[in-house]
Structure 1
Amino acid sequence: MSGGVDSSVATLLLHSWGLEVQGVTLKLFNNETSCSLETKTCCSLQDVEDARSVCVDLGVSHYVFNFTKTFGTTVIDKFCDAYLSGETPNPCIDCNRFVKFEALQQRRRDLGFDYVATGHYARRIYNDDTQRFELHTAFDEHKDQSYVLFHLDQDTLRHMLFPLGDLTKTQVRELAREAGFINAQKQESQDICFVPDGNYAAFIHNRTGKTFTPGAIVNREGKRLGTHQGLIHYTIGQRKGIGVAAAQPLYVYEKRPETNELVVDTDMKTQCRGVIVRDVTYGALDHIDGTQQLSVKTHYRQKAQDAVVTNASNKRLRIEFCAPQRACAPGQFAVCYRGDTVICGGTIEDIIPE
């Protein structure tokens, strides 16, 4: 329970179904002062009190689990390492994967509970034909969070509940209002919880001691266009704030930490034909044979794009899009769908140039 309206209504529904429910909020790091009430994160002390208030209203127990060590090593340190190596990480997926699911599922087993339930917008469906649990997109396509949950394996799905999967956000807020919850109209968390001011460079410098040196901005042909202020300040697909004047808008295409070069170019020249994906996790299938036609997301809010997906090697995929795509960033995630069903997903390792 993050203290937000979604996890609160999930608790309400579970309780109304007659299940034995215990509410849990996770303590993820120690610098609570960085999470003030003005930020749009999900970790302030007020959030803990909001979650506890809902549990009091429902008459269920509420606990806080200290996962600061796990969060530090599997999320924060991984986030810093990825940025320093030129990748663009998604710490929210790592938090879901290693903390909210892997670590919390282990705590569930230790305590003898049957399920972990969350306020994510997704659906879990059992397929009688394949005898596998499947992750499906939510009924509310605007709130669907299946992209960030692609990593859930069969054992985890067997012990998961997603009470909000068939509801819209409007319905969820109405249920919270009817229940009298204090967070019925609470704003959603948006920022990375451990960097609430969005200054990734300062955070990584303070945590690692690393400094970021200026270097050359070049186009894809290698022509020098200007000087960047440190690769860490830029993200793949970025348009504004590059600092180079040009007749046409420029976009960040690639970061090269080995040469400290930032590669930029015009829109058409920064598109890619496909991606190579590593560390693939399978969901509805246990593997992909040969080549399959699927739809693929490389960004959370992106509409899934038609693609040809090929099993390249052990836990690797080659994905070639039917139409060129922009801002496919190493370190981000590619998730493959068939219709509304998650087939598999993994980390983008490299891009296939157009």
Structure 2
Amino acid sequence: MKVLAAMSGGVDSAVAAARAVEAGHDVVGVHLALSRMPGTLRTGSRGCCTIEDSNDAWRACDKLGIPFYVWDFSDRFKEDVVDDFISEYAAGRTPNPCMRCNEKIKFAALLEKALALGFDAVCTGHYAKVIRDADGNPELHRAADWAKDQSYVLGVLTHQQLEHCMFPLAETPSKAEVRAEAEARGLTVANKPDSHDICFIPDGDTRGWLAERIDMTPGQILDHEGNELGEHSGAHAFTVGQRRGLKLGRPAADGKPRFVLEIRPKDNKVIVGPEDLLTVDELRGIRISWAGVPIDEVESGAEFDCMVQVRAHGDPVNARAHLEAVPGEPSTLVARLPEGMRGVAPGQTMVIYQGTRVLGQATIDSARSTVWDPAKVG
């Protein structure tokens, strides 16, 4: 097969490309330039889109003896990922930019261009599996190493995209083995630190970064009973589940810490309360997509058992889900959580699983609790 290897400059993508070459594929490496002003060096172990990363990707391709190109996707990245991130926070939601990047850039814009150029598949260093069912349809599954599993951030992939995905690290039992293999192959990235946090906010100061791009207006901080506790400098800087940075000045009556329960950008209010009120038992999701052929219950609207995960490294919880369809309107994915889930914010992505298989995903539009009714707070 003719394979396009997406080279981030990290050890995972380098080893994935090496395995694709070793398997006999005709491999070409490409690094995506996503920043209009990439930094010269990475800040600690943050980021993934710097000049240094591009150079590391080139060195890996040179060692493997495969062609290397840099494709400028900075305009698409700004529009589909960075601008989306800002607008979501401005609306009081908590987005996941890695999900948008996979959806809009790595497995949409990149794959679209790869197919147009005659490539059969895109190879990446993600830890996830594509398994074929009895009819030959692709299914997305968790990787062998659950500690490194990245199927969550790939939950946005569609049936058509999975047909052209290659994940050579799927069965690798540990990251340590990948690093050892990279060293044995003479790849200079063998001991390069993992990237983390948001690549376009390399210093990790999300609040400060947003303050430069969203108009922050002081407003009220209320408790869950509607009592005014203090003032914030801008509601957009908070997220559900946040504990630090409230600066209320006085403790709660019971002496326990308070957490952000809800953000109301329209009236610029932040609602806080005790930790136990963070638990929700129903999620309602929009912007739904299915990773492969949907299961029968999706088509019929029947309830089905599944597991729901709302963070890349979060624990999945048991759920009963169904697709709620209203004529003339987009469908809603409803997931009821018998055991509850703590600290879920609108804007996050819920990925649903059956066993190791990813069924699909949706953007959380609302998270409801039977313990606390936000409507009672004015």
Q: Is the shorter-chain TM-score for this pair beyond 0.5, marking a shared fold?
A: yes
- Of 56, 59, 83, the residue aligned with 1:53 is 59
Could you say which residue in structure 2 is the equivalent of 1:326?
Answer: 342
How many angstroms apart in 1 are the aligned matches of 2:355 and 2:43? 40
Matched, 1:306 2:314: no
Long gaps (5+) in structure 2: 1-6, 371-378
Could you say which residue in structure 1 is the equivalent of 2:17?
Answer: 11
Question: 1:35 touches 1:193 (CA, 8 Å); kept in 2?
Answer: no
Structure 1 residue 229, shift from structure 2 partner: 1.9
Question: 1:216 touches 1:261 (CA, 8 Å); kept in 2?
Answer: yes
Report 1:19-98 matches (<5 A): 19-33=25-39, 36-38=42-44, 40-98=46-104
Question: 1:34 touches 1:196 (CA, 8 Å); kept in 2?
Answer: no
Matched, 1:143 2:155: no
Deviations 1:281-300 (A, max 9, x none): 11244251311111100111
- Of 207, 227, 231, the residue aligned with 1:227 is 231
Structure 1 residue 270, shift from structure 2 partner: 2.0
Deviations 1:178-230 (A, max 9, x none): 01111101100002111112233443454x4x320121111222111221121
Distance 1:178 1:235, change over 3 A: same
Question: 1:264 touches 1:270 (CA, 8 Å); kept in 2?
Answer: no
Long gaps (5+) in structure 1: none
Could you say which residue in structure 1 is the equivalent of 2:360?
Answer: 344
Give the letter aligned to residue 33 of structure 2.
K
Q: Secondary structure at the match of 2:148?
A: coil
Structure 1 residue 124, shift from structure 2 partner: 0.2
Report 1:107-126 matches (<5 A): 107-126=113-132
How many angstroms apart in 1 are the aligned matches of 2:108 and 2:318? 31
TM-score by length of 2: 0.90
Matched, 1:273 2:277: no
Give the letter aligned to residue 297 of structure 1.
Q
- Of 134, 156, 161, the residue aligned with 2:166 is 161
How many angstroms apart in 2 are the aligned matches of 1:86 and 1:154? 31
How many angstroms apart in 1 are the aligned matches of 2:195 and 2:356? 25
Q: Secondary structure at the match of 1:103?
A: helix
- Runs (4+) of structure 1 exceeding 4 A deviation are none
TM-score by length of 1: 0.96
Q: Secondary structure at the match of 2:266?
A: coil
Deviations 1:20-52 (A, max 9, x none): 000110001212138645351101111111111
How many angstroms apart in 2 are the aligned matches of 1:145 and 1:66? 25
Report the number of matched residues.
Answer: 351
Q: Secondary structure at the match of 2:280?
A: strand
Identity of aligned residues (%): 36
